[in-house]
């Protein structure tokens, strides 16, 4: 059974968006490796449209090798898009989900292969509520943004996590690897 990994960048005060954080060579390398070790990545429409930026790097490579490597990795990994408004996508490695999020993810998890990644805030919130996330990889950037989208907005119950690992980057960013603690099943 494959794991579903929610990987996301956020600031110390818990905000996330595509402009939060300090992307550098080490961050790009980390996410490139994560993508290379995945079989699919799940996006909502908004995040998918933001990620299409990387197609321009494929067409006009950057002077930074780490950005070019990330662009290649994001291009290659199959992307499954969850949207009520998109009717088609023209990125060869992207498809629009045919089922609802829960059923799509349950089927993907049953297949053999590498991990499934999720990189959209809205999907992370929905999947967390469905208790389908197996691991979080939260990259906390050493900055206070003071505004923005809270990653764990609209979560109304306590979710306990077990720290699996940490990775400290040269920029001062810290990647925290967490596993949601499963609640013990009630005896009948």
pLDDT at residue 156 in the model: 84
CA 80 to chain centre: 12
- Whether the full predicted model's pTM is greater than 0.85, yes or no, is yes
Q: Which helix (H) or strand (E) holds 28?
A: helix 25-36
| DSSP per residue, 117-137 | EE--HHHHHHHHHTT---EEE
155 CB-near residues (< 8 Å, 6+ apart): 125, 128, 129
The Cα–Cα gap between 144 and 142 comes to 7
Q: Would you mind telling me the total number of residues written for the chain in this entry? A: 188
pLDDT at residue 22 in the model: 67
pLDDT, one tens digit for every residue, the chain (188 residues)? 899 999 999 999 988 866 666 678 999 999 999 999 999 999 999 999 999 999 999 999 999 999 999 999 999 999 999 999 998 999 999 999 999 999 999 999 999 999 999 989 999 999 999 999 999 999 999 999 888 888 888 888 888 999 999 999 999 999 999 999 876 555 55
pLDDT at residue 97 in the model: 95
Q: Half-sphere exposure of residue 26, counting CA atoms within 13 Å on the CB side?
A: 13
């Amino acid at each position: 059974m494959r794991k579903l990994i929610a990987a996301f960048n956020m600031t110390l005060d818990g905000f996330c968006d595509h402009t939060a954080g300090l992307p550098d060579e080490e961050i790009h390398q980390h996410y490139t490796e994560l993508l290379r070790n995945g079989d699919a990545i799940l996006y909502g429409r908004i995040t998918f449209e933001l990620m299409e930026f990387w197609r321009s790097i494929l067409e006009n490579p950057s002077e930074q090798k780490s950005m070019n490597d990330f662009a290649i990795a994001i291009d290659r990994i199959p992307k499954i898009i969850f949207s009520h408004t998109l009717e088609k996508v023209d990125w060869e490695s992207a498809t629009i989900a045919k089922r609802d999020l829960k059923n799509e993810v349950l089927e993907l998890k049953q297949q053999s292969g590498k991990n499934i990644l999720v990189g959209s805030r809205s999907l992370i919130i929905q999947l967390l509520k469905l208790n389908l996330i197996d691991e979080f990889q939260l990259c906390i950037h050493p900055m206070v943004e003071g505004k923005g989208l809270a990653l764990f907005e609209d979560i109304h119950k306590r979710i306990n996590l077990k720290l699996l690992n940490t990775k400290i980057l040269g920029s001062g960013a810290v990647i925290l690897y967490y596993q949601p603690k499963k609640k013990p099943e009630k005896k009948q």
